[in-house]
Structure 1
Amino acid sequence: MGLITWTVLFALVGLLGYVATRMAHSSERDSAHDAGMAIIEFGHAFPNEAIRNLHITADGMAVFVRLHDNKAGFMRHLRNHYACHLIEPGTVRVRDLPGGKGFDIEFLDAPFHNGKYTFASAAEAAEVSLWLLGNYLPAGERVLTSNPVPST
């Protein structure tokens, strides 16, 4: 074989390697956004907790979970599994990020999960921050009371 044939063959093998690598990375990113897998893994870690709702961060690397009794959970995607964490009251500090689509969170009992998390919308970030602060009350569960102020 001539030099040109070897050069073309080498270029094709290099291109094929590049395409295979890109495909592997994109499938890894796609699996990071798998809400079904997140639900299954959280269920394995905390079988007595019922999930009501969840929100995945914009990059798909973290999932925030609202549980049945207004507790919250957190999951961080680590290669081929999720690290699950049940958030206890009073163990988290939340500060909003500029732009409103995320927040900076500090886990007092799990500092390795500390970080900045952004969501697809500001509404998602606000809802999750309310879960974390323990103030979440959906509109359907609000009880409006009309307690007139007594006159003195």
Structure 2
Amino acid sequence: MLWTITIVCLFLAGLIFRQRFRRDDEPERMGEDAGLAILEFGRAFPGEAIREIISTADGRTVFLRLHDGKAGCMNAHGHHYTCHLIEPGAVRVGSAGPRRLSVQFPDASFEGGTFEFRDERQAAEVSLWLLGSFMPTVAGLGGKALGQPT
């Protein structure tokens, strides 16, 4: 009986110790998850160059701005990610609050939802990426890209 009590106490002490250190290193884990997201997206889409990433407040979803005006989205499922390449204009984005975006995909190949970000600036930036408003090739060419005479 004494051995059973000792084993249970050691097990509970281990759980408490684990939970305490898990809360303390949460900012570091967010950085590791961002690096893992870059590696996983690069493995899924090797021809796409990543310019910037923004993760949601809970860290379960990562949005990526790519080099050619496209965007990427990755959802965490345990220790695995599902990666999606989003073409400009192939998504519906709406505001669901100051730091929240409601994202719907018409082709339903990717489950949309409501995503909450750390601040309003990040939510606005991701909405620009998803809507295709931020297109560096168009911005760099001026009127020629829009079909206007120069």
Normalising TM by the smaller chain, what interval? 0.7 to 0.9
Runs of 4+ aligned residues of structure 1 deviating over 4 Å after TM superposition are: 5-8, 23-33, 141-145
Contiguous gaps of at least 5 residues in structure 1 = 146-152
CA RMSD between the two structures:
3.3
- The equivalent of 1:52 in structure 2 is 51
The Cα of 1:8 is off from its aligned counterpart by 5.7
Residue 16 of structure 1: aligned partner: 13
Question: Which position in structure 1 is the counterpart of 2:100?
Answer: 102
Give per-residue Cα distances to partners, 1:64-104, cap 9 Å, x unaligned: 01000111110001111211000123321111112x11201
Give how far 1:15 is off.
2.0
1:132 matches 2:130: yes
Q: Please give the alpha-carbon distance, in whole angstroms, between the structure 1 residues aligned to 2:9 and 2:41.
A: 44
Asked if 1 retains the 8 angstrom alpha-carbon contact of 2:70 and 2:87, the reply is: yes
Matched-pair contact (CA < 8 Å) for 1:29–1:60: no
**Match of residue 114 from structure 1:** 112
Match of 2:86 in 1: 87
Q: Is the 8 A contact 1:32 1:61 kept in 2?
A: no
**Which segment drifts farther, 106-115 or 41-50?**
106-115
State the percentage of identical aligned residues: 45
User: Partner amino acid for 2:53?
Assistant: L
Match of 1:148 in 2: none
Residues 1:37 and 2:31 are matched in the alignment: no
1:107 CA drift (Å): 1.7
Q: TM-score, normalised by structure 2?
A: 0.75
The structure with more radius of gyration: 1
- How far, CA to CA, are the matches of 2:82 and 2:20 in structure 1? 25
Cα deviation for residue 25 of structure 1 reads: 6.8
Structure 2 Cα separation of the partners of residues 84 and 136 of structure 1: 21
- Using the TM superposition, give the Cα deviation of residue 24 of structure 1 relative to its aligned residue in structure 2, in angstroms: 9.2
Shift of 1:130: 0.5
AA in 1 matched with 2:114: K
**Displacement after TM superposition at 1:112 (Å):** 4.7
With the length of structure 1 as denominator, give the TM-score of the two structures.
0.74
